[in-house]
Amino acid sequence: MSEQYLPSPEPLHRAISRFGNVTVLVVGDFILDRFVNGVIERISPEAPIPVLRGRGETSAMGGAGNVVANIVSLGAAAIPVSVIGADQAGVNLMRILAEFGVDTGGLAQDANRMTSSKSRFSALNQQVLRFDEEEIKPLGDAERATLVRHFRAALAQADIVILSDYGKGMLLDGVAGELISICRQAGKPVLVDPKGRDYACYAGATAITPNRKELGEAVGRAVFGDDEIVAAARELISAHGFDFVVATRSEKGMSVVGSDDARHIATQAREVFDVSGAGDTVIATFALALAAGADRVVAAAIANAAGGVVVGKRGTARLTVEELTGALFRSHGPIAHKDAILDAAAAARLVATWKDEGLSVGFTNGCFDILHAGHVSLLHAARSQCDRLVLGLNSDASVRRLKGPGRPVNDEHDRACVLAALASVDAVVVFEEDTPLALIEALKPDILVKGADYTIDQVVGAEIVRKAGGRVVLVDLVVGKSTTGTIGKLRAGSTN
């Protein structure tokens, strides 16, 4: 079966909320990226070439290093394993990794190896020259033994493995195959960002992540449409024993192809500034989502959104959880009511995304046991005060403590579903405490709304919101409407 697919937001955000528990082992070619910016105002008198007058320079990790940077930026742990040169570029890479808080014990430095570096020169944000310094050669026997030893030691700590092959020598001459075999024996999934035309060297990997052009080169023919992508991917699955293939397709999105199913995920339209490192972001995010418990289609949807974010940035880019969350919500448009029920962590990310987009966020809370006109009026009034409204809902245990052993009439799941279906409510979060104070501290809403039966000094969280520059709004209630009154009428009727 082959079809276009867009997963529900709920499993997407559940996976993202677990990123912080994931550890990824990254092996491959670590590259130093230099970015030199300047202006061009004249032509050289020595030759008919422009003169770039430097205005600044930055350095970043490229290749497998950019995979590590993205993993850490998304809140997970990364363990790098590789061999780099004992040169200035290698020193700079080690320094940057240390600044990221990454343990560099698995990175060996060898005086006989050159650290690959790429220097990009730009004027007015337009790249005018790239200068590469590298020496492509396979690992020597001693280097290989060191790499494998470090890999075995780190594997026990890892949830998933990425082989980032940039063709600089780290995974040549059977190294990739040896590492994949070790992963298989240990029962650890291994993903490969491949290089070259012959994927036999990656045989047995859980998955490979080629782009469309690389996929075509691997099967010896051009591939464009959905059916051609699926056929090419299955040819590689059959030939090399991959569990599945994730093919990135630029503006067409991404395809996830197994031996008997295929899903195609459309990308979001966005302005493209720079594709540098987009593939690194995709495989890093895909690995995190997969290790966090997402199935491969959900993981691909998350990775697809991540790639869409970083191509809108300049340079070797990485992204944050907040940017990723925002991209995923934009891809879904209005949120289906069942997907508006979030845990506190997911709600906090969503609120941060809304605020980044310049939207005001309101908050109100309550038990909302039997929904009545007073509740609807309160929520409508609250929503009129803000662009987005989050509703904090007391859990069943919390309601029992507040209202007595006979309450709630409706359990928290039913109450949340009914409330999330209201047009005035953008997200529902169930909280276990007697008050929503901790939730308000986590969300930091711009506006806190309660009924006018309270005074401002009685509103939980009022001080927090006001100190942060927000405001507290008290709205009039519908007279004579309450859950307690409704329950009283029902009980009275039952005795007649």
Grouping H, G, I as helix, E, B as strand and the rest as coil, residue 342 is: strand
DSSP code, position 207: E
d(C-alpha 474, C-alpha 476), whole Å: 7
* Beta strands 107-110; 116-123: pairing state: unpaired
Helix %, strand %, coil % of the chain (to 5): 40, 25, 35
Q: What is the C-alpha end-to-end distance of the chain, expressed in Å?
A: 60
Catalytic site residue from 33, 165, 280, 369: 280
Q: Is 214 annotated as a binding residue?
A: yes
Contact 388, 359 (CB under 8 A): yes
Token pair for 347: 């709600």
Is 280 one of the catalytic residues?
yes
Q: What is the number of residues in the chain? A: 496
Q: Is 441 annotated as a binding residue?
A: no
Q: Is 112 annotated as a binding residue?
A: no
d(C-alpha 162, C-alpha 192), whole Å: 6
Token pair for 141: 């026997």
d(C-alpha 223, C-alpha 248), whole Å: 12
Q: Residue 390: which of 335, 336, 445, 469 has the closest Cα?
A: 445
Q: Is 491 annotated as a binding residue?
A: no
Q: Is the peptide bond before 405 cis (omega within 30 degrees of 0)?
A: no
DSSP code, position 322: H
Token pair for 391: 């509703």
Token pair for 90: 């290698």
DSSP code, position 135: -
Contact 83, 113 (CB under 8 A): yes
Grouping H, G, I as helix, E, B as strand and the rest as coil, residue 75 is: coil
Show Cβ contacts of residue 324 under 8 Å, excluding neighbours closer than 6 positions: 16, 74, 285, 302, 305, 306, 309
Tell me the C-alpha to C-alpha distance, in Å, between residue 308 and each of 195, 288, 304.
22, 17, 6
Give catalytic residue positions: 280
In the annotated binding site, the residues are 211-214
Binding residues for ATP: 211-214
